[in-house]
Chains A and B, each alone.
Chain A
Amino acid sequence: NAGVTQTPKFRVLKTGQSMTLLCAQDMNHEYMYWYRQDPGMGLRLIHYSVGEGTTAKGEVPDGYNVSRLKKQNFLLGLESAAPSQTSVYFCASSYNEAGELFFGEGSRLTVL
């Protein structure tokens, strides 16, 4: 039972490059989330989705875009990476807005 799978697990980018992080869940959850985790800041919500075809901004959305074309997938895109986007990114999913969040193992991104 895979749960929530994130790819890639590690990536190094140069400033200005673009990339996409992929999140896949096999629990048929409606809600999916992208968080970033930085030392001393905890988990901060970037974008989230309440169902296929929907997306919404979280606490720190600037510089990121997302898409939810299929219920099981939630993509996070960086169009022009900046050093401030160096972080560990976590995807999570839940059955509803009050339910337990199931997290992936994280994607470590370094922007030089």
Chain B
Amino acid sequence: QKEVEQDPGPLSVPEGAIVSLNCTYSNSAFQYFMWYRQYSRKGPELLMYTYSSGNKEDGRFTAQVDKSSKYISLFIRDSQPSDSATYLCAGNDYKLSFGAGTTVTVRA
């Protein structure tokens, strides 16, 4: 069983919709949580970084961590076609463990 479970989708939404992405994890030692965005045929890039339970907002993106239920979420408001990518969640004790990634398509 993977340490981080993520629904691979795919997810298709119209432009302007809210995108909701979720992961669960099993490793209680995870101290940091990250969301990476990966465009087609490119390497992943860090999108959000959190280290505690609660919400962190950055522009149209909000990352949410609930350590009590071992749940990680990413919300994208006012989604744009340029948000079409694969989103990977990850947890970190002393090295990162990634979820499988969710492929999102935002339709113009």
Contact = CB atoms under 8 A, between A and B. Distances in A.
Given A41-B100, A98-B92, 5 more contacts: A100-B34, A101-B44, A103-B43, A105-B41, A105-B42
Interface in A88-105: 90, 92, 97-98, 100-101, 103-105
A40 B43 contact: no
A42 B43 contact: no
Sort A-B residue pairs by CB-CB distance and give the 3 closest, nearest first. Answer: A103-B43, A42-B100, A43-B98
B31 interface: yes
Contacts of B88: 42-43
**Contact size range, B:** 20 to 34
Contacts of A4: 43
Given A40-B8, A40-B100, A98-B31, A45 B95 contact: yes
Contacts, number: 50
A77 interface: no
B98 A42 contact: yes
B95 A48 contact: yes
B94 A103 contact: no
B49 A42 contact: no
Contacts of B49: 100
Interface in A35-52: 35, 40-45, 48
7 contacts: A35-B98, A40-B100, A97-B92, A101-B36, A103-B45, A106-B42, A106-B43
A105 B8 contact: no
